Amino acid sequence: MEIKVLGPGCPKCKTLEKTTRDAVAELGLDATITKVDDIMEILGYGVASSPALVVDGKVVLKGRLPSSKEIKELLTK
């Protein structure tokens, strides 16, 4: 599983990255997590509001900070 956290480095973006890493660890998933802060790359995903979460190339969340439970649900679909 490839996970990308999109965001320029704002506090919400950092929180999403930490919460996602914690969720992956708790679920025991085999995943690579990358933080993307390049604006052009973020826009390439069609994301105009951050933070956003991309799982295996698909944007699954954007523009808000989800709960840990919601992240786990998104990762186990």
Considering the entire predicted model, what is its pTM? 0.93
Query: What's the token pair of residue 65?
Result: 């900070």
* 59 in any annotated domain: yes
What phi, psi does 22 have (nearest 5°)?
-65, -40
* 37 in any annotated domain: yes
The Cα–Cα gap between 71 and 43 comes to 22
Domain that holds residue 42: 2-69
For the four alpha carbons of 35, 28, 54 and 12, in that order, the dihedral sign comes to negative
Cα–Cα separations (whole angstroms), residue 5 to 2, 30: 10, 16
Tell whether the model's pLDDT for residue 68 goes beyond 90. yes
* 10 in any annotated domain: yes
How many domains, the chain? 1
The Cα–Cα gap between 60 and 74 comes to 7
pLDDT on residue 51: 96
Which residues are annotated as catalytic? 10, 13
pLDDT tens by residue, 20-61: 999 999 999 999 999 999 999 999 999 989 999 999 999 999
Q: What is the CATH number of the domain that holds 24?
A: 3.40.30.10
The pLDDT-based confidence of 62 (bands split at 50, 70, 90) is: very high
pLDDT on residue 9: 85
